[in-house]
Amino acid sequence: MINNKGIFTLNEVKEYLQFKKNETVFEWLSNNQVPVFEKSKKSKMVYKVDFETAIFLPLAKSLIKQYPNTWKDYLMLYIEDIKVYNMVLTKINDTPCKIETTTKIKPRNIKEEKLLSRLLS
C-alpha cells in the first residue's frame, strides 16, 4: 500500500482513496469504523491494519455471497498480510482471531520453569 510503518497519515489515506477533502476522508473512516488517532496536534493517523481491513471487508462480503463454501480461500488470494486477513475474518465472524505466539520461552533453570508454569496457568 502506501508505507510500511504500520500507520497512515490522513493525507496518505486521502491520496489512496482519491478524495479531495479531509472531511470526506473523516466521513469514510467513520462510516467504516476505522479509528483515527492524533499523531500530533496538527496531524492525525490511522493504523494500517484497521484501514486495510476496512478496504477488504466489502470484498469479503461479496465473496461470501458468490462462494459460500470457499470464500476464505478466495479472500486469501487477495490479501497478502495475514494480520489483515485475520482482522477481516474477525469482523465477518464477530469472533476473536487466533493469535499464535512466534516466540518460544525456554526456562534456564527450575525457578524459571516454575514461574513460567504459573504465568501460563
Please, what is the Cα angle at 88 between 83 and 93, to 5 degrees?
125
Is the pTM value of this prediction over 0.85?
Answer: no
**Mean pLDDT in the chain?**
86
Domain contains 37: yes
How many whole angstroms separate alpha carbon 34 and alpha carbon 36?
Answer: 6
Contact 31, 20 (CB under 8 A): no
Domain contains 118: no
Distances (CA, A) of 9 to 13, 22, 31: 6, 11, 18
Instruction: Express each pLDDT in 21-78 by its tens digit.
Output: 999 999 999 999 999 998 777 888 999 999 999 999 999 999 999 998 899 999 999 9
* Total number of domains constituting the chain: 1
Domain contains 113: no
Is residue 95 scored above 80 in pLDDT? no
Domain interval for residue 47: 7-93
Output the pLDDT for position 1: 46
Domain contains 102: no
